[in-house]
Amino acid sequence: MSKLVITGGKSLEGRVRISGRKNSALAIIPATLLAEGESALENLPYIRDVDVYSAILQSLGAKVRRNGGGSLRVDSADLSGVSAVPFDLVKQLRASYYLLGVLLARNGRAEVAMPGGDDLGPRPIDQHLKGFRALGARVSIERGVIKVEADRLMGGSVYFDVVSVGATVNVMLAATLAEGTTIIENAAKEPHIVDLANYLNACGAKVRGAGTDVIRIRGVKRLSPATHAIIPDDIEAATFMVAAAATRGDVVLENVIPKHLEPITAKLLEAGVEVSENGDSIRVTAYDRPLAVNLKTMPYPGFQTDAMPPFTVMLATAEGTSVVTEGIWENRFRHAGEIKKMGAGIRVEGRTAVIEGVDRLSGAPVEAQDIRAGAALIVAGLVAEGETEVHGIEHVDRGYERTEEKLRGLGARIERVPESTPVS
Ligand code: EPU
């Protein structure tokens, strides 16, 4: 176990390259099992969640090769009869439940333990199961394991009661090889849904409408492997944008799709921060304290929930009082108690935080309890005067590539050091 030690108060300056999108990778890596043969994925982030997914695929019998430059090759020629996914790996990665859709489509049967994941409040999977049933699958839960099976998966219609990224992905995966057409209504519209559709279509699937709230999938008999580059990570980008703004810095982010960052850009502009786009890069410059803004997180194209925790850190040193409402998860302010230790004026009531901006934060030992709370605490450490120790960095390593190296490249004073062993 290690911690990050940050000496804050330095403006970030320079250029940083954004990695591939975690939540796209976690949908497309399992999707490679739908195509018999070797698929190649490019622009994958070097993060722990990708390592765990690679290990899961290997445990199922796929041949997985990781090359340099973010590329991964998956050969899934020999997967016949596989249905159960090993529990010790599943419990490390919530997105392993995408193997329900994949193995159901490929082998007619799947067994995956109920997913865990970050404690963001209740995380039901009823919409995934509703979708599988709409395709004619039998669904049961026995001793904590979800079992889905179908003699013949048939296209069907499903109207989701809530907009769910995970359920949209799972039903898309299952429907690609079903007989007939599937229609998903009230589908999620996140760019990673479009990225997944692009990969599947490159393999020969017939997915139409991804990126809108109605997706139509005409099932095909088989998929062939394809090469696909994962889109850039909007949340990693948002974290660097906010860190630049909060430290009164001047940072150019390379390898981004500015369109996907519009919810963040709009709020930064409202806060008086300069943001300019240039092809696949974006520059964030701040000369002064940002201004307070109100925001509510929502499904895309609303403000991304995963970008909200770091954004609240910027607002903690803004001029004025901001009101931030979380529209997706019940428990997304797990960083609030920690930044309070650093002097932030943040009060959380249910899904709303009222943030009274202060002049400065001061360094303190803090503990990350989930991935985005961890990112928020790192930003807080960069802004604060003095030294901040961020513990619980394993959460951040799940989804951010070479965090301290990238930040050092922008002039930050940040080191990873081993946690000292407690004296017994
Ligand atoms: N929901 C249901 N029933 C379901 C599924 C979801 O009621 O069957 C509810 C959830 O409780 C939540 C809302 O619908 O209130 C949205 O959940 P969604 O299914 O969209 O979330 P997810 O697929 O579990 C993904 C990301 C999350 C991100 C959310 C929202 C992955 C692997 N995870 O989760 O990312 O917050 O979409 O955008 O793609 C993160 O990266 O930090 C992270 C938590």
In sequence order, which residues have a C-beta less than 8 Å from that of residue 349 and are 6 or more positions away? none
Count other Cβ atoms within 10 Å, centred on residue 104.
26
The set of catalytic residues is 118
CA 139 to the chain's CA centroid:
27
DSSP string, 75-122: E-S--TT--B--HHHHTT-GGGGHHHHHHHHHHSEEEEEPP----SS-
* Ligand 1 centroid, distance to 73 Cα (angstroms): 27
List the chain domain ranges.
Answer: 2-19+232-418, 22-229
Q: 3-state DSSP call for residue 334? A: coil
> Is 334 close to ligand 1, i.e. is its CB under 6 Å away?
no
Please give the residue that has the higher pLDDT: either 4 or 67. 4
pLDDT of the residue at 123: 83
Largest alpha-carbon pair distance within the chain? Answer: 64
> Is the bond leading into 309 cis (omega within 30 degrees of zero)?
no
Architecture of domain 22-229: Alpha-beta prism (3.65)
From CA 57, how far away is CA 54, in angstroms rounded? 5
> Is 167 close to ligand 1, i.e. is its CB under 6 Å away?
yes
From CA 158, how far away is CA 134, in angstroms rounded? 6
* Ligand 1 centroid, distance to 203 Cα (angstroms): 26
CA 255 to the chain's CA centroid:
17
pLDDT of the residue at 334: 92
In the CATH hierarchy, which fold is given to the domain comprising 2-19+232-418?
UDP-n-acetylglucosamine1-carboxyvinyl-transferase; Chain (3.65.10)
Q: Tell which residue, 6, 7, 11, 2, has the closest CA to residue 244.
A: 11
From CA 23, how far away is CA 6, in angstroms rounded? 27
* Confidence check: pLDDT of 348 > 70: yes
Q: Which atom of ligand 1 is nearest to the CA of 118?
A: 44
Q: Which helix (H) or strand (E) holds 74?
A: strand 71-75
pLDDT of the residue at 297: 98
> Is 130 close to ligand 1, i.e. is its CB under 6 Å away?
no
Q: What is the signed CA dihedral for 77, 96, 259, 320, rounded to 10 degrees? A: -170
pLDDT band with cut points at 50, 70 and 90 for residue 422: low
pLDDT of the residue at 55: 93
pLDDT band with cut points at 50, 70 and 90 for residue 67: confident
The structure's pTM equals 0.96
CA 218 to the chain's CA centroid:
28
Residue to mutate, 19, 23, 49, ligand 1, most ligand atoms under 8 Å from C-beta: 23
Average pLDDT, the chain: 95
CB 26 within 8 A of CB 48: no
